[in-house]
A = this chain, B = another copy of it.
Amino acid sequence: MQLILKNIARHISLTADEEAYFLSILHPKKIKRKHFFLQEGEINRQTAFVLSGTLRAYTIDENGFEHILQFAPPDWWIADMYSFIAEKPGNLNIEAIEDTEVLTIQKKDLEQLYITVPKFERFFRIITEKSLVAMRQRLIDNLSLTAKKRYQKFCQQYPSLINSLPQKQIAAYIGVTPEFLSKMLKEKN
């Protein structure tokens, strides 16, 4: 529980009452490796904060290829934002790549939280702004960098993941086939 309070304290400060109220709406949940927090076609009714383990969010395109949009190691928030705000079925899968513990907040509870403690509007505004900046940069990188450079950037950005992830998933994140990533890695050095 300390982890999520510290996460929030990076942008807003809470009174003891507000903190207690916030903690009261959190639901702990465990997701086993290879199990899903959310599957394509479902409505994402809760947002998640990762305490331990790691989740990944991905889509499957019409040719059956996976494209990974986000890894969520501890201290990260994750949801299918489209589905969560529209309350419609989404096309994201959110899966545990190892046994994972999260805290979830139901959409209804979050809406009430916004009303009761408006500071949380600020908190989520700020982290959404940061996500947008990161997503924008990733789009730019995909438009302007070669696969080799995108791989290098990935290594810098997620040094902790690089050794625990199958290459296949790194390929699905940087936007190349596993075969091509394998070839690239042989060429280097």
Contact = CB atoms under 8 A, between A and B. Distances in A.
Given A85-B133, A125-B124, A133-B81, A142 B142 contact: yes
Interface string A128-141: 11111101111110
A114 interface: yes
Is chain A's binding surface mostly helix, strand, loop or mixed? Answer: helix
A61 interface: yes
A68 B133 CA distance: 15
B132 A121 contact: no
Contact of A82 (B63, B69, B136, B143): B136
A175 interface: yes
A59 B140 contact: yes
Given A85-B133, A135-B135, A143-B175, 10 more contacts: A62-B144, A67-B144, A114-B122, A121-B122, A122-B125, A125-B128, A128-B132, A132-B132, A135-B139, A142-B142
9 contacts: A61-B140, A61-B144, A85-B129, A121-B125, A125-B125, A128-B129, A131-B132, A132-B132, A135-B139
What are the 4 A-B residue pairs with the smallest beta carbon separation, nearest first? Answer: A61-B144, A125-B125, A121-B121, A67-B143
Interface of A: 59, 61-63, 65, 67, 69, 81-82, 85, 114, 118, 121-122, 124-126, 128-133, 135-140, 142-145, 175
